[in-house]
Structure 1
Amino acid sequence: MARRTPPLLRHLFRGATDGGASRLPLDLAESRRSVTYMPRPGDGAPRRVTLIPGDGIGPLVTGAVQQVMEAMHAPILFETYEVHGDMTAVPAEVIESIRRNKVCLKGGLRTPLGGGVSSLNMQLRKELDLYASLVHCFNLQGLPTRHEKVDIVVIRENTEGEYSGLEHEVVPGVVESLKVITKFCSERIAKYAFEYAYLNNRKKVTAVHKANIMKLADGLFLESCREVATKYPGIKYNEIIVDNCCMQLVSKPEQFDVMVTPNLYGNLVANTAAGIAGGTGVMPGGNVGQDHAVFEQGASAGNVGNEKIMEQKKANPVALLLSSAMMLRHLRFPSFADRLETAVKRVIADSKYRTKDLGGSSTTQEVIDAVIAKLD
């Protein structure tokens, strides 16, 4: 992916000029850029990262990341905490660790169905105000798919919408569930999407909505996106209704670049795009806010695996390895990120070591060993 040069980044955040993308003072703009996945020069000092192995295949794939980080001699120190989806809440010491370290890497956490048990994933996002979910769905050389030239970034509002969890039983047999959309959250996710597009040389941002039916809620989301779009004249902006979006995704996905969506739609769109580009097992992602970031497998479908995969130790570590490359860039270690990404892509291109979901029969450890062998 092409990236802006430092002079262009400085120009982006320069004081008021003619119709540019940002009018923030440099010091404030730098702090806001912390939510993007851009390589920035660092001092090279080791960074502590909170590690949550999670449920199911989580310990396998997070263990894979630890092995590769050690093989690269990456300046990362992990603080490991046991968290499982059947807990009533994320332990306070885990939240404190993430607040202290600013960055977390996690495996999947099971979310119990029904029963009034809250999702720990949602708890983390709300507690740390991780308002933006980013999933990068793209073709990998050597991995055949129905469509080519797929390179989609799905940016999803992460804290409100249908996932607010505001529901109650009005009378027995009647449940009311509220969809919450605010201008504040809509504006900041739109700004994040356009900022990401600008800094990463992306050409187009597409807002996904259902404003033809939910005229007030999704209408407010669209209004916010339109306002922000006027501040980025160099980036094409368009809108698409979510049902048409799904149809277009499976028929002509190469038309999409950056997509910005409310919460529920983003979950569906990201998993659909991931399936088109090669599967959820190879798509990286993360959840970010102003001060904290949690990196994990990008698409949520099947992220804890099944008993057979765990018994055979054949979980696919690619998605979390690529998410870890995102994390390394976020931590200002771009050279390590490049080495990791290049090694993973070489293993996929060689097609000798692949897990079952990618058409192979390799174990997790065999894939890890292959990645380590490809490190420059």
Structure 2
Amino acid sequence: MKQISRREFLAAGMTGAALLCFPGPSAGFDLWGTKTRRASGPSDITGSVFKNSAPETPWKWSVEAFDYVKHADRSVTCAICPHECRLLPGDRGLCRSRVNIDGVLYSLVYGNPCSINVDPVEKKPLFHFLPRTTAFSIAGAGCNFRCLNCQNWEISQATPETLRHYELFPDGVVQSAGQAGAASIAYTYSEAVTFFEYMYDTARLARQQGIKSLLISNGYISKNPLSALCDVIDGANINLKSFDDALYRKLNGGRLAPVLDTLETLHRRGVHLEVTHLVVPGYTDEESLFRRMCAWIVEALGPDHPLHLLRFFPQYRLNRLAPTPVEVLTRFRNLAMAAGIRYVYVGNVPDHEGVHTRCPNCNRVLIFRHGYNVTQPGIKNGRCAACGTAIPGVWV
């Protein structure tokens, strides 16, 4: 199965033909309709752009951005995420995948995923969404965060043209997912917000074919694109990285408030929502901070959205740290449950008690997990088979 990098394609000439790896149209395929414009935009964000790094002309893996502001000097302000990068012609945004070409903002990650896999939906992690089914998973290059502990930094911190990729436009994604027998398509691995237009068009087509769409994200997205996305996605796992704005800036290169807004919007719009929190030693393992996070979740989102506490392992620029002690994860799980969160899971610790789903009323094991081997003996029609308590989730 041959792949071709964008750099190789450009070197071969813009009229050259890339080799297809999956079924799908061989020309630019854009379902996108009228672009949204706003009259004015925010000020520049210092250090948020790569100067003069955009290609001179768009190519077939590019599409005009969903939402941005045009300025009189042919600069543009991206409105996809809260960074709101202000880009002069030739500049590339913080995410590395959006560029200003002659006064028009383009996404360079449309129809060219750098990673494709068929995963258990539990890997996302989503524990209350169609257990034992698979998700057709795709990723585009780039990310709007700079997490020091990123586990997928090879693709999230890269520009699209430096990675080898597949050519797979939205209808090809949906067709391939159907052929793979996947119940859903997951936008994952790097940062789904970075390839928003590709995700949106794919999710809209997938819904027409009865295939679910899953947003796996840091939640750093602006209100307008998030509102549009809520119309076409079915589930989400948002990584709430900490509950302190200064720590968000230090560890991740973002801010806390927009992520909280995203969580509240997904909850309000009825999108199935699960939350992930990576417990990083020396950064996010402060008990008082975690207690505040749990209290906010219960107050703002309610007690029924699953919370996944993940064990940290040395990664990327935090490879000097030790893994999270298991006893810390166990203590945090107990704290979260004491705060009122009903479904709290422990990840990256095989055979921990916190990998199973229990009824919050009678404590019966409803879903048993051993790795990605899942049995579901205790749920019937979305309820505990023993006591009849409704279990929130998507079960059919």
TM band (smaller chain): under 0.3
Could you say which structure has the larger radius of gyration? 2
* TM-score, structure 1 normalization: 0.26
Q: Which structure shows the higher strand fraction?
A: 2
* TM-score, structure 2 normalization: 0.25
Q: Which structure shows the higher helix fraction?
A: 1
Query: Which of structures 1 and 2 has the larger relative contact order (alpha carbons within 8 angstroms, sep 6+)?
Result: 1
